[in-house]
Amino acid sequence: MDTQDIEKNYQSAKKIYMDFGVDTDKVLEIMKQIPVSVHCWQGDDVAGFEKTEGLSGGLVATGNYPGKATTPEQLRQDIEMALSLIPGKHKINLHSIYGENYKERDKISINNFKNWLNWAKQKELGIDFNPTFFSHSMADSGYTLSSQDKKIRDFWISHAKDCREIAYYIGKELGIICIHNIWIPDGSKDIPADRISHRKILKDSLDEILSEKYDRKFMRDSLESKLFGIGSESYVVGAFEFYYGYGLKNNIMLCLDTGHFHPTESIADKISSVLLFQDEMLLHISRGVRWDSDHVVILNDDIISITQEIKRYNVFDRVHFSLDYFDASINRITAWVIGAQALLKAILFSLLEPTHLIQHEEKNGNFGNRLALMENFKMLPFAFVWDKFCSLYNVPIRNKYLDNIKAYEESVLLKRK
């Protein structure tokens, strides 16, 4: 398909959408303003550069596809490659274990992220940041911020404080908000006899970590809940209810990870409740298959129902999107691109929805028409608008990007030792 075909298809799609009262040109302008935070950890199976301990905290990356990045330079090069195939202007999501040249987790500072910072400046990318509470001997007991052992707890409190400072510095340097997201693996494999003590300790730890106030223009905190994990099947200290309560009381945003709820629970349904009481929220878009397996995100109903909710209340400015999955069994660049494109497609699909028409049927109590319109809108030529969006950023159309990845795999990835 050449540029002329893309344009021709787009013009015919534009006309069809116009008949339903949707302006595709305007939608494309909105698309340009919606950043997705691309997680660096898809590039190396959540290994990071400490290289002292294996992946822990209940996180598992299965597969052994060749060519994974093992140095910061390689990882940045791979991210650049992935970004060149993802239309739009996006952010990068870093974990503290991706810092460079530090000896111990509790001795990190902004100096260990200078290369990332300079690179981001050069590429005009925002950065989000996460303290890392796993893959470390101090997390081996299964508890970090909620540990009853003061030594362990203090170690992690200090880590989180350092990370908030780093996040603030990053946000200030780049002039783009840096979201500092706390996720801890704390919990227990089997039925605990005392749930509340750990939760009380977690509350105190968070109070201490968050006591330092930073300018929200540059840094914002978020708290990520979970339902269960590998090794924490019976009890997770940082459950949704815990953080919902804490977040409301202390005005800290929540992070909802789409893999962190019961498999049949709708995350989309939660958005309108959370945003009634909080200004904003963070989403970790993931795909669980039977459990929180972090499969590559695809364009499925789960994701579309989330972006539809956001579209229907027009709250794209109050929801931050980030990706969170890791698949080591396929080309890691392909994994990044599929997931990021899927999320962007879901956003575009939702922006193109003639929402006013279905809401009109609902107001009139005609639920048959509402359902029929919803079904009909699935058939609108959204792919042609997507192609146009890709072409605006010189992203090869449809599956053409696979050729670029193949060439990169041959010339770069397979040459890595």
Catalytic annotation present for 257: yes
Residues near Zn ion (CB under 5 A), total:
3
Catalytic annotation present for 294: yes
221 binds, among Zn ion, ligand RNT, none (CB under 5 to 8 A by kind): none
Q: How far is the CB of 324 from ligand RNT (least distance, A)?
A: 5
Applying the rule CB under 6 A, the residues between 313 and 332 that interact with ligand RNT are 324
Locate all alpha helices (DSSP H) within 329-400, ordered by sequence. 332-351, 355-363, 367-377, 382-392
In the numeric block, which tokens belong to residue 326?
């890791």
Q: How many residues appear in the chain?
A: 417
284 touches ligand RNT (CB under 6 A) = yes
Catalytic annotation present for 226: yes
Catalytic annotation present for 103: no
Q: Identify residue 25 by its one-letter amino acid code.
A: D
Instruction: Identify the residue among 45, 221, 257, 309 touching Zn ion (CB under 5 A).
Output: 257
The answer to whether 188 and 232 have CB atoms below 8 angstroms apart is yes
The answer to whether 80 and 90 have CB atoms below 8 angstroms apart is no
183 touches ligand RNT (CB under 6 A) = yes
186, 221, 257, 327: which is the annotated catalytic residue?
A: 257
Catalytic annotation present for 260: yes
Task: List the one residue out of 39, 3, 133, 12 whose CA is nearest residue 335.
Answer: 39
Residues sharing a CB contact under 8 Å with residue 371, sequence separation 6 or more, in sequence order: none
Q: How far is the CB of 259 from ligand RNT (least distance, A)?
A: 7
Sign of CA dihedral 352, 314, 130, 236: negative
41 touches ligand RNT (CB under 6 A) = yes
256 binds, among ligand RNT, Zn ion, none (CB under 5 to 8 A by kind): none
Residues sharing a CB contact under 8 Å with residue 308, sequence separation 6 or more, in sequence order: 268, 350, 353
Residue 182 three-state SS = strand
Instruction: Identify the residue among 50, 173, 186, 324 touching Zn ion (CB under 5 A).
Output: 324
The CA distance from 401 to 334, in Å, is 9
45 touches ligand RNT (CB under 6 A) = no
The answer to whether 70 and 355 have CB atoms below 8 angstroms apart is no
Catalytic annotation present for 224: yes
324, 327, 353, 409: which is the annotated catalytic residue?
A: 324
Q: Quick one: 128 or 409, whose CB is closer to Zn ion? A: 128
The DSSP symbol for 297 reads P
Cβ-proximal residue to ligand RNT, closest one = 183
Q: What phi and psi, each to the nearest 5 degrees, are found at residue 178?
A: -105, 120
**Binding track, positions 222-261, relative to ligand RNT; x by CB under 6 A:** --x-x------------------------------x----
Residues serving a catalytic function are 183, 224, 226, 257, 260, 284, 292, 294, 324
Which residues here bind ligand RNT, judged by CB under 6 A? 41, 46, 59, 130, 183, 224, 226, 257, 284, 324
